[in-house]
Structure 1
Amino acid sequence: MNVDHTPRSPSNRPLKLAVLISGGGTTLTNFLEKRAAGELDIEVPLVIASRPDCGGVAKAKAAGLRCEVVRRRDFNDISEFSTTIFGLCREVGADLVTLAGYLSLIHIPEDYQHRVMNIHPALIPAFCGHGFYGHKVHEAVVARGVKISGCTVHFADNEYDHGPIIGQKTVPVSGTDTPDQVAANVFQAECELYPEMIRLFAAGKIKVVERRTIIQD
């Protein structure tokens, strides 16, 4: 039986984002730039970093954002780790949790089902899953010789790069492109696609039926 899920979203106020990072914080910076330009109506009450030496930690603090470091190795199991992360998200009243280059697997509790978004730097189901992250994705794209790559925004579930796909954006790949060139082109696509999908969520326009999403007018 198909079960319909409409992700909850706020009305008449900025969307509260929790942003989870593992690297340089470029996606976080993009969100903040879109907000400053009036293109993304958000608040960021919480940033969670997977390690203290993430470049994104300094960026979050420079922006005056609360930033907590939650390391997987400090917990006995993934359940305890995930409970801590979502406890922080509930504490700040996060409407949506965004994975922004976040590399640790988390288990999503019932109250955050279809309220956790991830962006992957390839066109899922290609070049995705455990071990496909960051520059490794673009190296694999170039090695395989594909002519189109891109990025995918999806709702996260308890597996890597597995939940319902919300949106995808393509970029061409030429036979002379290096992984660095592909990465730069894909990141430009990410900078447009991720905010666009967040806006759809905030407007209540994303409906999930089983593992498919429907974008409502």
Structure 2
Amino acid sequence: MPNGNLGTLLQEANHQDGHMLNWPMRHLIALGIARGLAILHSLSIVHGDIKPQNVLFDADFEAHLSEFGLEKLTIATPAEASSSSTPVGSLGYMAPEASLTGQPSKEADVYSFGIVVLEILTGRKPVMFTLDEDIVKWVKKQLQKGQISELLEPGLVELDPESSEWEEFLLGVKVGLLCTATDPFDRPSMADIVFMLERCRVGPEIPSSADPTSLPSPI
């Protein structure tokens, strides 16, 4: 792919005050990843290793998922799945239950996607936190303290708290937190996530109290 991967793009943005990645572009990247995962899940295919390095960009900066092998096209029995070499995630992006069971799942994909979304929005890498604090706990702590501006990656500081983009940013954060719920059954489906992120760009029509959990399901 001519424009590399999301990991490199985020790294370059951090070194250049984030100006390469404004809010509309970050939103489109998250939405592109969500749409790709939703298609895979609709075909009963689990990716197993969602992370920025596996999100590639074409000439138009449209996001494409990579690194899911042909073995994932086969629907395996539980016994086959337990002995499969299918990856269950990478450090910092792996769902808690996947790290314990070694089993890839749609719910684990959703968790990994949530981590990527929070990374896209905050510019912080999950693996740079201490053992007692990951990116999810850090985001929740900032929200509890009311220090929402601390969540903003340097290139997004110019967001006006009174603007629709600010509301969209906060809704994006909420989507990331929903995806990283501890209980896998509390996480939304990728189809729901696509719907939430598409609604995320309706701007002024989203009230300040908007919560992704209150949005109707498209399924």
**Smaller-chain TM-score bracket:** under 0.3
Give the TM-score of the pair, scaled to structure 2: 0.25
Whose strand fraction is larger, Structure 1's or Structure 2's? Answer: 1
Give the TM-score of the pair, scaled to structure 1: 0.25
